[in-house]
Structures are given as C-alpha cells and as structure tokens.
Amino acid sequence: MAAASPASFSDLLQTAVTEPGIISSAYTAFHTYSLGNQLLAFGQCLAREIPPGPMATYPRWKELGRYVRKGEKAITLCQPVTCKRAAQADDGGDEPGVYTRFIYRNSWFVLAQTEGEELPSVPIPAWDRDRALAALDVAEVPFDALDGNALGFARGRTIAVSPINPLPHKTTFHELAHVLLGHTAEGDQANGETTPRSLRECEAETVALLCCAALDLPGVECCRGYIQEWWGQGHPIPERSAQRILKTADQILKAGRTRAGRHD
C-alpha cells in the first residue's frame, strides 16, 4: 500500500545533523535498514510515542510468532522500485530502458506494536575499516601531502590519512565520501559540470558525521563545525545532495559490517 512521503530527505537530514542523539538512536534501533529509512522510522516512533525497536512487515512478524495488535498504525518507509521506460516516437524523446523511482509504503511495525513469543536480541554488527575499504574498492596510500594543515586526501579511488590525525576515522569517512560521491572523478574531467567546492565539502563532511554518529565514534561536533564553515548555519542541504549523502553513508556502513542482517 502506498503512502504519502512523511518528510523530505533534506528535512530528515537537517534534523539529524542538528539534533544530537538522533542518528545514534535510529541506527541502534533500525541498523538493518538504510539510513534514510532509519531516520524515517525513528521520527514516526517519536511522533507517536512508540518505543523504537526491531521492525518488520506483518507477514514477517507472523513468521516470528508475533502478531500486530489490532488498531496499530503501520510505519511508513521508502522503497526503490525499478520501472520500465517505454520507447518514445522519433522526436528526440527518451530511449527505452529501466529507471528507479522511490515510493513510500506503510507496511512495517515495530516490536512495541506486537505481542507474542519473545525474540532473541540481535547484536549491532561491528564495523571494520579494512573490510570497508576492500568492499568499496578503495585503496589506502601513504600520506604525502606537503600542506601542514592537511589531515587527509582523496585521489581517484585512493585515500590517505595523516599519521598525526587526531580523528582518523572521521577523516577516513570524509575522504571515502569524496571518492564514492564522484568528487575525485570530477577533478579528472577537463570539461563538464562540477560540484561547487562548498557543496562537495558539505556532502563529504555530512557523510562523516552520519558514520561517526552511527558508530558512536568521536568527531561529531567537529563535523558540525566544519559543515557550518563550508555551508553556513541554517542553510538547508539540497534534496538531491541529501539523498546522495544518505546513500553514501549507508554504503560505507554496510561495507564494513562483519555480520549481515535481514530487513523486510
């Protein structure tokens, strides 16, 4: 069943970045889901005063020996749907093919909305840096920057972190984001549009903030200050950038997981 979008990803991201504790709490409760859906679900639980926790569809809860209580309202999540594009007439229109669109469905319920058999706890997967780099096909190279203020860099599909960096995880996430967001590839282009540097830095540092907050690593406040420096306090992040940021942070977190989880 389709549902209206409860909030734009830009709004969700703005709230998560500015209000401490939201990202960590959402990740703890819903880590088997994408970051965007974690924030969507967490916001709905807060609004309805429902304790966040394990979440599944009605059929999945039934498989697990639990039943959704009568009258409970479903949680709305966003799902990608692959669609076919029909061929247009020979007038310069779209070529036939497939594309992805996102729809909102209200099909999920959290544990607090159900009753039945007790469930075993599901530990949050550990995150491993080397595993993430290998899975993302990004290599780490020696740090050779001559700028004494630089603590890391990204070139092509490589990153480097200064050995004296006080927050190596934060910089790792930031530089990985530059690679995965395509910023380093833009630098190799002789022609074509490129992302303004202020937006590149805002996107990369917001990815770093999401990853640090989700994994409870230090550096979140430094990220906030950096984002304000490059993007300005109170300025909303563009919707397209918000989607890219959430997708990239999700890629990094999933790539480094040492255990897999199920979500439905």
Instruction: Please give the residue range of the domain that contains residue 136.
Output: 129-255
Q: Give the pLDDT score at 254.
A: 96
Q: Give the pLDDT score at 127.
A: 96
Q: Give the pLDDT score at 41.
A: 96
Q: Give the pLDDT score at 91.
A: 52
Residues of the chain with pLDDT under 70: 1-6, 86-96, 187-193, 233-234, 259-264
Amino acid (one-letter) located at 193: E
Q: Give the pLDDT score at 172.
A: 98
Number of compact structural domains in the chain:
2
Domain boundary (116, 144, 168) is at 116
Q: 105 with 213, same domain?
A: no
Q: Give the pLDDT score at 149.
A: 84
Provide CB contacts within 8 A for 177, sequence distance 6+: 183, 203, 204, 205, 207, 208, 245, 248, 249, 252
Q: What is the pLDDT of residues 32-70, one digit of tens each?
A: 999 999 999 999 999 999 999 999 999 999 999 999 999
Q: How far apart are CA 165 and CA 167, in angstroms?
A: 6
Q: 49 with 111, same domain?
A: yes
Q: 16 with 75, same domain?
A: yes
